[in-house]
Structure 1
Amino acid sequence: MDLTSRTKTLKKLLDAMPGAVADPYIPPRATEPLILMYKVMGKVFAILSVRREEYVIVKCEPPLADILRQQYTGIGHRSHLDKRFWISINLDADVPLNEAKSLTKRSYALVCQGLTRKQKAELATRPARQLPKPKRAKPRRKVKDR
């Protein structure tokens, strides 16, 4: 998987969300996943493309989806999802990365709002996955003069 920095950033964000599970879709006769379908408590909240086109599909409120489609050329819809509730964000287009991250977090929150009380309680017990801290180079030891 050769991902751009924008896709890597979104993947790290998605992987760090509490209870988020990445379900890879590998087409027949392929060796690598085409997309990663992110779910929380079994409900899809994001679909991240990891090959070919660079995009993420997220859930969105209908009025906001219409506004975003008018504001950005990089926001549209995919034919296999209901365009009222789902938007596709082209990561190579005019959509700022911070906007894509914000919409991804919003999608997660929307799906979590629709969970049952029991599911919400179960999700609350799951710790948020921590992003790995970058490793720092160890300082060199000073050699004592003899």
Structure 2
Amino acid sequence: MDPSAAKEDLNQVINSIQKTLGLLHQLHLTISSFTPANKHHLLNRINSLVSELDSMAKLSEKCNIQVPMEVLNLIDDGKNPDEFTRDVLNSCVARNQVTKGKTDAFKDLRKHILEELEQTFPDEVDMYREIRATSAAETKRLAQSQTVLPNGDAKVKSEL
């Protein structure tokens, strides 16, 4: 689906929600000051609300928005759904810190093993370092010869 069409569909639903909220407010005012003389006015407001809810339901069928159940449960409990976002971000930060710790531990282990190997096999470690440097230079050259396309794919320059 075209992103601009999806955004337009979503904007229509949002406008319908805002209109429904306005109609609910008007209905509340009508009910709070209800007299038998204005029952036709009340019926018109109810019919307008039902019509707008029907319109909103039809417009929402065009939108494909998935809301996590946790967010709906927070709303049902009367809590702010931003708490869900905050909790997800905090969880990501915590997992990132754990992953960074593991990565740092592996780097330290690699460094320690390389130091131990260098004491025992200095010539082999020198050859290993040369191979790694050559490989890194080749990877860098290859990366510089590629162009990233808007879709994330890499376009390799042809060498003639």
Query: TM-score by structure 1 length?
Result: 0.20
Bigger RCO of structures 1 and 2 (CA < 8 A, at least 6 apart): 1
TM-score, normalised on structure 2?
A: 0.19
Q: Give the structure with the larger helix fraction.
A: 2
Determine which structure has the larger strand proportion and give its number: 1
